[in-house]
Amino acid sequence: MIQGYIAQKKSMSNIYNDKGKRIAVTALLAKPVKVTLLRNKKRDGYDAVQVTYGAKGHIEFPPSNLETLPEVNSEITPELVFAVNDDVSVTAKTKGHGFAGVIKRHGFRRQPVSGGQSDRVRAPGSIGAQTPGKVIRGKKMPGHYGNKNMTVTHLKIVSFDQQNNLIYVSGSVPGHLNSWVTITK
């Protein structure tokens, strides 16, 4: 089969396990995907299975076993790829927050209110020595916040809801509601 799956992020919720412990989960809508192309090392230089999702999208995943490759035009469900308690990583684009200052973007603290400067409370302060004559690359400054790819690792698959095509993953997943996420082993 394949080593990953594509899904849409839905709401967060809670599930109680058999011991009565509450687990925070994220529901991911994972409809069956259709295999459109098989890539091999001889022809393409690498092994992969291309699947379609949504209206026009497609994505490639490496095969988990070269002996059990799926057929072209066959459907793959998430239950064939994952099992309950599998350790997975989820990759998605984070929410965009626009332009943000250093307090929100990097977690800086406010400067003292007293001391003579009333308008510098949320400013970053000094940005470095005079010697280099420039701002050093990577300096924590105000700017665009969010809207970048992020991977959350070591999440567990808690359960499947086959009637509603949902996968319940423990913990939070990056992205906004209905955004596409990639789940990999």
Instruction: Find all residues with CB under 8 Å of 185, minimum gap 6, and list them.
Output: 3, 4, 64, 82, 86, 87, 88, 89
User: How does pLDDT run across 28-86, given as a tens digit for each residue?
Assistant: 999 999 999 999 999 999 999 999 987 778 999 998 888 888 889 999 999 999 999 99
Burial (CB count within 10 angstroms: exposed 0-12, middle 13-18, buried 19+), residue 94: middle
The answer to the question of residue 164 being in a domain is yes
In a domain, 129, yes or no: no
Question: From CA 176, how far away is CA 185, in angstroms rounded?
Answer: 22
CATH number at residue 42: 2.40.30.10
The total domain count for the chain is 1
Give pTM, 2 decimals. 0.80
What is the amino acid identity at position 103? Answer: I
Q: Is residue 60 one of the residues assigned to a domain? A: yes
- For residue 120, tell me if it sits in a domain: no
Q: Is residue 106 part of a domain?
A: no
Q: Determine the structural domain holding residue 67 and report its residue range.
A: 4-96+144-184
Q: How far apart are CA 38 and CA 44, in angstroms?
A: 10
* Domain presence at residue 49: yes
